[in-house]
């Protein structure tokens, strides 16, 4: 009887621990950049086809470009480099729009699905024009802060670990009796 009650308690604890850990992601600050970065392509560079412009990036894609890995490895914040303050937003430049804009970290509004353009024709001051988190266009005062997401074990892993600890506890109890 004690074993089944203990097993139920252990299963409940494992479920509770697993859910709480799964909901708390771990972020590690890796770097920051401003949309108007010296390394970014210029919006009207003659090296690009003026009907398309340079490639456009979501903030997560820009982080992967700058710091390595893939876009899904990152979360972005506009607040600061403290992982507790991540707001999942980023500064973007919008072609023809004279101010920087905060959008979601994965916001994507790319001309033809890939470009920050066309730079030979766009609607001035239209926030719905193409956007990029990594292009030299209007000077944006805010920084984008990139955090790498640290994988967190699945709840099942914690359940197995707790079950193993329970078996060790039972064996020790039996041996001490």
Instruction: Tell me what pLDDT residue 157 has.
Output: 64
34 with 119, same domain: the answer is: yes
Query: Rounded distance, CA 76 to CA 146, Å?
Result: 5
Helix (H), strand (E), coil (C) string for the chain: CHHHHHHHHHHHHHHHHHHHHHHCCEEEEEEEEECCCCCCCECCCCCCCCCCCCECCCHHHHHHHHHCCCHHHEEEECCCCCHHHCCCEEEEEECCCCCCEEEECCCCCCECCCECCCCCCCCCCCCCCCEECCCECCCCCCEEEEEEEECCCCHHHHHHHHHHHHHHHHHHHHHHC
- Which domain covers residue 161, as residue numbers? 1-24+153-177
The answer to whether residues 18 and 30 belong to one domain is no
Residues 133 and 158 reside in one and the same domain: no
Q: Is the pTM of this model over 0.85?
A: no
Let me know the angle formed at the C-alpha of 48 by 44 and 53, rounded to the nearest 5 degrees.
Answer: 60
Give the pLDDT of the chain (177 residues) as one tens digit per residue: 444 555 455 445 444 444 444 445 699 999 999 988 878 888 888 888 888 989 999 999 999 999 999 999 999 999 999 999 999 999 999 998 888 899 999 999 999 999 998 878 888 889 999 999 999 887 777 899 999 998 776 666 666 667 677 767 777 777 776
Q: Identify whether residues 95 and 77 lie together within a single domain.
A: yes
Residues 112 and 165 in one domain: no
Q: Specify whether 5 is located in the same domain as 86.
A: no
pLDDT at 23: 44
Q: Are 84 and 5 within one domain?
A: no
d(CA 18, CA 104): 28
d(CA 124, CA 94): 10
Cross-sheet strand order for the sheet of 26-34: 26-34, 143-150, 74-77
Whether 100 and 171 share a structural domain: no
Do 64 and 85 reside in the same domain of the chain?
yes
Residues 32 and 71 in one domain: yes
Our count of domains for the chain comes to 2
**Shared-domain flag, residues 66 and 133:** yes
Same domain, 91 and 159: no
């Amino acid at each position: 009887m004690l074993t089944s009650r203990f097993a139920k308690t252990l299963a409940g604890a494992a479920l509770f621990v697993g859910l709480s850990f799964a909901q708390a992601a771990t972020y590690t600050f890796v770097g920051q950049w401003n949309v108007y970065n010296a390394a970014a392509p210029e919006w009207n560079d003659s090296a690009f086809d003026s009907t398309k412009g340079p490639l456009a990036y979501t903030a997560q894609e820009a982080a992967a470009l700058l710091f390595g890995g893939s876009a899904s490895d990152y979360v972005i914040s506009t607040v600061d480099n403290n992982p507790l303050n991540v707001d999942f937003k980023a500064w973007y430049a919008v072609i023809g729009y004279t101010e920087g804009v905060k959008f979601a970290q994965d916001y994507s509004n790319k001309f033809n699905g890939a470009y920050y353009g066309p730079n030979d024709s766009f609607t001035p001051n239209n926030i719905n024009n193409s956007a990029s988190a990594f292009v030299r266009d209007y000077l944006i005062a805010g920084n984008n802060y990139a955090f790498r997401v640290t994988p967190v074990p699945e709840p099942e892993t914690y359940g197995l670990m707790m079950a193993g600890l329970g078996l060790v506890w039972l064996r020790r109890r039996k041996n001490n009796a």
